[in-house]
């Protein structure tokens, strides 16, 4: 039995969706807001020194963090190529490149901007810092948009990249029109990524988990 520490709408959705799609037995242990709740951090901290989700306990008791590492591990365990192109597949180099790009470049923009006080001590500077990170995030999404294929990021082949796009396009950072939802910004500025996100939402093996994590759509 796998155990996932998570929170609806957070990065744990990436791992929850893969476990469900693979049909692996797992328990979801929901935690409160890790930015505001010391109690929630205390629950995750014994397993993850950064007290972040996703944090995954393997059936043998080992701990895994880092969504990309978990993605590659689950593909190895299941022997499935549903989310990860296997060695020798022509699309594997591009998959690995853009998976690491997402987790090393795009994902950290949320780490920095979700709670700027962790990185910028002066309260008056925090809003400007968050705005700068948001502008940079938009630039990174523009890079992804320029590389995206159709109907999936890699073209004909579905992969975990499409799951990442579906989840992370709910987390938009940066200037936008008042009342504009994250997906609205992507529809207007990154239409390829928006189309990929909508297509991933509709996949039968992902739909239930994505709907639970993002009920507003």
> Domain residues of the chain, as ranges?
2-78, 92-211
Which tops the pLDDT comparison, 99 or 129? 99
> What are the contacts of 164-168 at 24+ separation with CB within 8 A?
164/14, 164/99, 164/102, 165/193, 165/196, 165/197, 165/200, 166/196, 166/197, 166/200, 166/201, 166/206, 166/210, 167/11, 167/13, 167/14, 167/17, 167/210, 167/213, 167/214, 168/102, 168/106, 168/107
Which tops the pLDDT comparison, 56 or 174? 56
pLDDT tens profile 26-39: 999 999 999 999 99
Predicted confidence at residue 65, as pLDDT, reads 98
Superfamily grouping for domain 2-78: Glutaredoxin (3.40.30.10)
HSE of 24, CA atoms in CB hemisphere, 13 A: 24
For residue 152, give the DSSP letter.
B
Pick the CATH number of 92-211 from 1.20.1050, 3.40.1350, 2.40.70, 1.20.120: 1.20.1050
pLDDT tens profile 63-114: 999 999 999 999 999 999 999 999 999 999 999 999 999 999 999 998 888 8
Residue 14: pLDDT above 70?
yes
Residue 178: pLDDT above 80?
no
Predicted confidence at residue 126, as pLDDT, reads 87
């Amino acid at each position: 039995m796998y155990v996932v520490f998570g929170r609806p709408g957070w990065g744990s959705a990436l791992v929850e969706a893969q476990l469900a799609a693979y049909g692996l037995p797992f328990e979801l242990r929901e935690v409160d807001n890790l930015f505001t709740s010391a109690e929630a951090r205390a629950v995750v901290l014994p397993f993850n020194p950064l007290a972040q989700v996703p944090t995954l306990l393997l059936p043998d008791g080992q701990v895994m963090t880092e969504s990309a590492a978990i993605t590659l591990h689950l593909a190895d365990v299941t022997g499935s190529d549903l989310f990860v192109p296997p060695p020798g597949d022509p699309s594997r180099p591009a998959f690995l490149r853009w998976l690491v790009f997402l987790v090393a470049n795009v994902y950290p923009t949320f780490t920095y901007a979700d709670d700027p006080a962790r990185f910028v001590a002066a309260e008056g500077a925090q809003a400007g810092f968050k705005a700068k990170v948001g502008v940079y995030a938009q630039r990174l999404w523009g890079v992804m948009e320029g590389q995206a294929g159709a109907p999936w990021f890699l073209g004909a082949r579905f992969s975990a990249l499409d799951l990442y796009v579906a989840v992370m396009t709910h987390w938009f950072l940066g200037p936008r029109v008042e009342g504009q939802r994250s997906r609205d910004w992507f529809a207007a500025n990154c239409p390829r990524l928006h189309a990929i996100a909508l297509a991933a939402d509709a996949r039968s093996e992902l739909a239930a988990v994505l709907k639970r994590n993002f009920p507003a759509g």
